[in-house]
Amino acid sequence: MNGSMLCVDPLPWFDCDMDTRACNEHDLVALRNAWPTADDVHGAHYTEQREGTATYLVAWQDEEPLGSGLIQWHGPIGMNARAAFPDSVEVNHLQVRPELRGRGVGTVLLKAAEQLAENRGYKLIAVGVALDNPDATRLYRRLGYTPTGVIDVCAYDWTDDDGQQHHEIETDQLLIKRLSP
Ligand SMILES: CC(C)(COP(=O)(O)OP(=O)(O)OC[C@H]1O[C@@H](n2cnc3c(N)ncnc32)[C@H](O)[C@@H]1OP(=O)(O)O)[C@@H](O)C(=O)NCCC(=O)NCCS
């Protein structure tokens, strides 16, 4: 799967050369240049992919990265979510570059993740969404993800573009979608 190209219904806002694929070594260099992050998020996600636990999906238009998401093949990260849906895959760290949001990139990434999960024989795909993120929740609901009532609280640290450290505590609800048989 590593490095393969996957085109999923590009939406009309973008040229038809938009594609979504698992990150490869060349992509990682382009990502770090075009979309730098203080904590080398791309490198961390790519390491998970190399270890075989995840696929780091990135949407591109030519050499420009538009957004990305991580497919966790070993199930949801949250303890309660994993206990409730151990046979699902989870998409997390879904993000689209701020200036490109609302143009269908997130939808394309999710559909690509669903297709890859189906190809591997999974029947359920999950996303965890913060209770205070109604915009993302609306997108997931529209794409067929159903609230489960399963809640996990997670803590994480991140560094913003000014080098400022943040400690976040997030309460996520798991949403689930059944994939085609
Ligand atoms: C959530 C996110 C990945 C969606 O990607 P996207 O490319 O903007 O989504 P699409 O264009 O395919 O779909 C648009 C829908 O996304 C949702 N959305 C969430 N945040 C949005 C934003 N900042 N701008 C526009 N749409 C947003 C809305 O539901 C919107 O639909 P609407 O027309 O009903 O308002 C993206 O907005 C993002 O990176 N947000 C910040 C990080 C985040 O919240 N990630 C999700 C973690 S669970």
Render pLDDT for 166-175 as a digit per residue (tens, 0 to 9).
999 999 999 9
Domain ranges within the chain, ordered by starting residue: 5-178
- Quote the pTM value: 0.90
Pocket of ligand 1 from Cβ distances under 6 Å: 94-96, 101-107, 129, 133, 135-136, 138-139
Q: How confident is the model at residue 110 (pLDDT cuts 50, 70, 90)?
A: very high
For residue 71, the cross-strand partners are: 55, 91
Q: How confident is the model at residue 71 (pLDDT cuts 50, 70, 90)?
A: very high
Distance of CA 121 to the CA centre of its chain: 19
Q: Would you identify the CATH topology of the domain 5-178?
A: Aminopeptidase (3.40.630)
> Is residue 51 exposed (0-12), middle (13-18) or buried (19+ Cβ within 10 Å)?
exposed
**Whether residue 2 has pLDDT greater than 60:** no
146 forms beta bridges with 176
